[in-house]
Amino acid sequence: MSVSVAIESSLAPSSSPSPSPSSSLDRGISSAPELLPDPTSDWGSAEHGEPALHARRHHLLDVGDLSDAVVLRLWQRADELKQREQRGLSSTIFGTLRGHVVATLFFEASTRTRLSFELAAQRLGALTLPLDVSRSSLEKSESLQDTLQTLAAMGATMAVVRHRDNAVFSSLGSQVGLSLLNAGNGTEAHPTQALLDAFTIRQQLGRLQDRVVVIHGDILHSRVARSNARLLHRFGARVLLSGPRELLPTDDELSQLVGAQLCPLEEALPQADVIMCLRVQRERHSGTSHAEAGAQPPPYLRVHGLTQERFARAKPGCLILHPGPVNRDVEIDSALVDHPRSQILQQVRNGLFIRMATLEWIAGVLP
């Protein structure tokens, strides 16, 4: 049994109003607006005549923190950076973040997000300050806020934070002393992943408007699904969420996504321009029949996963996406990971350029 969320929107970027910064639904983080400065308010940039290091701080906690115009500019800038690499300028160090120090604090394991943020900062001329959380004073019960203030006192201007707690950002005071980027908080949000996923679809298919994107798998525990649903909805895509019954959001959670409705994967696939598979996040739940899916791959793949037989029923030209890490032959047949329609490595590549553009926006120096 599967659930789909059908979300339709007609977007006119030049006239569409920005999401309200006070909406906890759009931001996806409870109470954050009262505790952190409004990230969409008057921010400085070189274009506005303010030095980069003295620009007003702002944060990226969820896709609701970005206006439609800013999202479009981030995609445009990412494309510019990607084209420079394609012209053989990949070794070029940009100077837009020279003088900045970007700290990374990852309380959960990461390969793609952590390394791409660090490489993005370095490619823009910033210094990086990776904090080994397991060997820091956080292990001595220092609060995250005190740690961030300590990093700011050392000269850090931004902190990229991944944390298992959904409410990690709402627990921070407004005087952390640097800009915050959410690299994934619990099951709530992963804004740069949504930006890069939508960017990848847009580059391959030309537009998001009226495209059908099926996100399938462990939706209940997926911050990627939530951020993608919010962003794709805003740009006119129809998003269908499906998965095993016990790995779907509760009715209350579904009510927060406009247009939620039931639909099995078999009905969603023939409409799909994109199928995005999600792994079973065993670290976030226990006691379900899928908690040990990684230890018993064939049953899950056969009953719920994206097999070659199921993919054959998808719309011709359907793209395959996965935010990673991929568990081959669990949520997706190994052959489909390497299929000509697979965009999985393209997502990784695009993540670098999206995160470069995002860091420039955070610093107020987006060209």
What is each CA distance from 365 to 45, 46, 97, 135, in whole angstroms? Answer: 5, 6, 8, 33
Name residue 62's amino acid: D
In angstroms, the CA 226 to CA 241 distance is: 10
Give the pLDDT confidence score for residue 160 in this predicted structure: 98
Query: Could you report the per-residue pLDDT of 343-359, keeping only the tens digit for each?
Result: 999 999 999 999 999 99
In angstroms, the CA 187 to CA 200 distance is: 23
Query: Could you report the per-residue pLDDT of 145-198, keeping only the tens digit for each?
Result: 999 999 999 999 999 999 999 999 998 877 899 999 999 999 999 999 999 999
Query: Could you report the per-residue pLDDT of 56-75, keeping only the tens digit for each?
Result: 458 999 999 999 999 999 99
Does the pLDDT at position 43 exceed 80? no
**Cβ atoms < 10 Å from Cβ of 200:** 22
Q: What percent of the chain shows pLDDT beyond 90?
A: 65
Give the E-state strand segments of 223-273 in sequence order.
238-242, 260-262
For the chain, the average pLDDT equals 83
Give the E-state strand segments of the chain in sequence order.
3-5, 101-106, 127-131, 158-163, 179-185, 212-216, 238-242, 260-262, 274-277, 319-321
Q: Which domains does the chain have, with CATH numbers?
A: 46-188+349-363 (3.40.50.1370), 191-347 (3.40.50.1370)
Query: Could you report the per-residue pLDDT of 291-320, keeping only the tens digit for each?
Result: 555 544 458 999 999 999 999 999 999 999
Angle between helices 68-84 and 223-234 (to 10 degrees): 100
**Which tokens is 285 given?**
């739940």
Choice between 70 and 41, residue whose per-residue pLDDT is larger:
70
Q: Structure pTM?
A: 0.82
The phi and psi torsions of 71 (rounded to 5 degrees) equal -60, -45
CB-based contact 19:64 (threshold 8 Å) = yes
**Residues in Cβ contact with 122 at an 8 Å cutoff, skipping those fewer than 6 apart:** 93, 128
